[in-house]
């Protein structure tokens, strides 16, 4: 069966399923080969709850860049405790970080877009590739309304950059639907969200957004870019 045919079949099978049902189907079709990357954002917390409550055999992992907010790390510990699970952490390669800082300075990512992207590569993209290696399905918490470039994504799609099928179960959820689900199920979330931080990444690269600003405006606010770090290439 060709990749396109396989993708088409999966699209048909998942089309009318809820996120929890879709996750269960993929875990059954690809045993031991489904992984979920969480950045501990609200969307990701929803998916973690679904995996934990349904006891799905899906490995949950996160990328500790070394520059995360303390609140994010505290949330990781609270999440593990609440759902009696362990979130696997991937770290940047030590030599790569040391070499980058020696060349660019501790906050050299502020200087140019190229510096920022290379920092993201060292701290996020390369660890992600290690986390995805050997797996067949990568689950993410992306939602279409988060940004213009994400609105073009599909629930299940081929990620060319990472050579893996990517499943976005919450793609068509609205922000209000997500918040309602979090409140109904008492899902723990980052207290920074209540302070205007919508999309939360590394501490030096994230700020609260202003009223009326795009949800991704708080990421790398000092540059004019697509507000992506390279994790979700297509």
Cβ contact 174:185 at 8 Å: no
**Tokens representing 215?**
């949800």
In the residue annotation, 205 being an active-site residue is answered as: no
- DSSP code string of 49-85: HHHHHTT---EEEEE--S-B-HHHHHHHHHHHHHHT-
- Return the SS3 of 164: strand
Strands (E), 9-142: 34-37, 59-63, 88-90, 137-139
Whole-number Å distance between alpha carbons of 38 and 46? 10
Collect all residues with Cβ–Cβ distance below 8 Å to 18 and sequence separation of at least 6: none
**Residues acting as catalytic residues:** 229
């Amino acid at each position: 069966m060709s990749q396109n045919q396989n993708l088409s079949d999966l699209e048909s099978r998942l089309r009318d399923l809820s996120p929890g049902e879709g996750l269960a189907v993929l875990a059954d079709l690809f045993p031991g080969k489904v992984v979920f990357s969480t950045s501990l954002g609200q969307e990701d917390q929803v998916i973690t709850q679904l995996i934990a409550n349904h006891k799905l055999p899906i490995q949950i992992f996160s990328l500790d860049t070394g520059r995360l907010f303390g609140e994010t790390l505290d949330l990781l510990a609270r999440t593990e405790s609440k759902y009696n699970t362990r979130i696997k952490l991937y770290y940047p390669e030590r030599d790569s970080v040391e070499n980058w800082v020696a060349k660019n300075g501790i906050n050299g990512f502020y200087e140019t877009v190229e510096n920022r992207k290379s920092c993201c590569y060292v701290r996020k993209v390369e660890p992600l590739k290690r986390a995805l290696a050997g797996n067949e399905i990568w689950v993410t918490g992306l939602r279409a309304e988060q940004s213009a470039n994400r609105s073009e994504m599909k629930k299940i799609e081929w990620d060319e950059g990472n050579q893996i099928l990517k499943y976005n179960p919450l793609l068509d959820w609205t922000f209000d639907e997500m918040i309602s689900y979090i409140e109904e199920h008492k899902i723990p979330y980052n207290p920074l969200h209540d302070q205007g931080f919508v999309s939360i990444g590394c501490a030096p690269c994230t700020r609260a957004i202003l009223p009326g600003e795009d949800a991704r405006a708080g990421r790398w606010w000092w540059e004019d870019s697509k507000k992506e770090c390279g994790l979700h290439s297509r």
